[in-house]
């Protein structure tokens, strides 16, 4: 999600499940600086990243070839996130933001795409999930809270956001990678490889492109993970999934632009 959103959407007076975040220690101070909508948005963005740690206490085989329950959990999480995010997007929307379809679906499709493309390397799916949840999520927090100098290639992003993405994303990706892969690797290997993957994802998030950053981060993380961890690109599968995802996103963007044009015409 964006590093430096300029406005926060007006809050609704309706009670929301996401309002649970306001009961956490320090939430009042963060809400004062970020706004209630943005704090809800951070909760929805980051909570799915806890799934890999839940799997630590659930005995399972590696890879997930015969682990149907885990596949269902991961796919179900992505689907539920999409439905909930789209249905309740008004509660987390920023000022001037549309329906949120590209943002929410970009997140969900990235996780589902990783699960489909790399079934023999489930750690890649979990890495995509935690980098989206905590790396990308921290970029927004770092950029909004610390501010500071902007990137020379994108004045809408800050160095604080980029560094926050890399540090937090590397930490979570390395821990999840180390905890899931079999045979288990050393901490040094986990952090070295995770750091390389997160650099690619953080750079993709910082680019001044119109494509939603959730989708950019997901695709960059998946490609980097396949190169660094799996040692191969699986070009046919990647091309098919990436093409389908981009066509869906393009279609949704066209629908949104057409709807905006129609409303302006009225």
| Minimum mean pLDDT range among 49-53, 67-71, 223-227 | 223-227
Number of domains composing the chain: 1
What pLDDT, on a 0 to 100 scale, did the predictor assign at position 235? 52
| Token couple for 128 | 């995509």
Question: For residues 12-44, b (16+ Cβ closer than 10 Å) or e, as one string?
Answer: eeeebebbebeeeeebeebbeebbbbbbbbbbb
Residue 5 lies in a domain: no
Q: What is the pLDDT of residues 210-219, one digit of tens each?
A: 778 898 899 8
Residue 31 lies in a domain: no
Residue 4 lies in a domain: no
**Averaged pLDDT for residues 28-54:** 90
Residue 100 lies in a domain: yes
DSSP of 169-224, one letter per residue? Answer: HHHHHHHHHHHH-SSPPPHHHHHHHHHHHHHHHHHHHHS--SS-HHHHHHHHHHHH
Residue 76 lies in a domain: yes
What pLDDT, on a 0 to 100 scale, did the predictor assign at position 228? 85
What pLDDT, on a 0 to 100 scale, did the predictor assign at position 62? 94
Q: Does the pLDDT at position 1 exceed 50?
A: no
Question: For residues 48-78, b (16+ Cβ closer than 10 Å) or e, as one string?
Answer: bbebbeebeeeeeeebbeebeebbeebbebb
**Averaged pLDDT for residues 123-129:** 96
* Backbone φ and ψ of 63, nearest 5°: -70, -170
**Averaged pLDDT for residues 70-86:** 91
Which of 51, 53, 112, 47 lies closest to 85, judged by CA?
47
**For residue 63, is the peptide bond before it cis, meaning its omega torsion is within 30 degrees of 0?**
yes
Residue 40 lies in a domain: yes
* Backbone φ and ψ of 259, nearest 5°: -65, -40
Residue 7 lies in a domain: no
Q: Does the pLDDT at position 6 exceed 50?
A: no
| Minimum mean pLDDT range among 64-68, 87-91, 231-235 | 231-235
| Token couple for 42 | 């951070």
| Token couple for 111 | 């996780």
What pLDDT, on a 0 to 100 scale, did the predictor assign at position 34? 87
What pLDDT, on a 0 to 100 scale, did the predictor assign at position 265? 61
Q: Does the pLDDT at position 53 exceed 90?
A: yes
Q: Does the pLDDT at position 188 exceed 80?
A: yes
Residue 69 lies in a domain: yes
What pLDDT, on a 0 to 100 scale, did the predictor assign at position 122? 95
What pLDDT, on a 0 to 100 scale, did the predictor assign at position 176? 97
| Minimum mean pLDDT range among 57-71, 75-89, 102-116, 233-247 | 233-247
Count of alpha carbons within 13 angstroms of residue 263, beta-carbon side: 7
Residue appearing with tokens 């909004």: 144
- Domain around 200: 17-25+36-265
What pLDDT, on a 0 to 100 scale, did the predictor assign at position 9? 43
What pLDDT, on a 0 to 100 scale, did the predictor assign at position 13? 46
Confidence of residue 226 (pLDDT cuts 50, 70, 90): confident
What pLDDT, on a 0 to 100 scale, did the predictor assign at position 23? 86
Q: What is the pLDDT of residues 231-250, one digit of tens each?
A: 654 555 555 555 565 566 65
Confidence of residue 2 (pLDDT cuts 50, 70, 90): very low
Q: Does the pLDDT at position 182 exceed 80?
A: yes
Residue appearing with tokens 């540090």: 167
């Amino acid at each position: 999600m964006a590093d430096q959103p300029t406005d926060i959407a007006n809050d609704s007076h309706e009670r929301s499940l996401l309002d649970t975040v306001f009961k956490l220690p320090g939430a009042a101070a963060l809400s004062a600086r970020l706004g209630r909508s943005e704090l809800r948005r951070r909760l929805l963005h980051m909570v799915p990243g806890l799934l890999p740690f839940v799997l630590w206490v659930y005995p399972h085989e590696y890879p997930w070839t015969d682990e149907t329950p885990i596949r269902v959990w991961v796919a179900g999480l992505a689907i539920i996130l999409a439905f909930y995010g789209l249905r309740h997007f008004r509660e987390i929307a920023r000022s001037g933001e549309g329906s949120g379809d590209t943002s929410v679906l970009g997140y969900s499709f990235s996780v589902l795409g990783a699960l489909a493309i790399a079934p023999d390397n489930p750690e890649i799916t979990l890495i995509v999930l935690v980098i989206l949840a905590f790396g990308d999520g921290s970029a927004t927090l770092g950029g909004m809270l610390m501010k500071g100098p902007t990137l020379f290639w994108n004045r809408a992003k800050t160095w604080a956001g980029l560094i926050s993405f890399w540090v937090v994303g590397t930490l979570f990706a390395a821990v999840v990678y180390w905890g899931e892969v079999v045979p288990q690797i050393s901490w040094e290997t986990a952090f070295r490889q995770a750091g390389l993957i997160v650099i690619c994802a953080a750079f993709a998030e910082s680019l001044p492109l119109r494509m939603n950053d959730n989708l950019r981060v997901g695709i960059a993380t998946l490609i980097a993970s396949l190169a660094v961890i799996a040692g191969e690109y699986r070009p046919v599968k990647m091309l098919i999934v990436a093409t389908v995802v981009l066509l869906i996103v393009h279609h949704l963007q066209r629908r949104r632009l057409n709807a905006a044009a129609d409303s302006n015409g009225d």
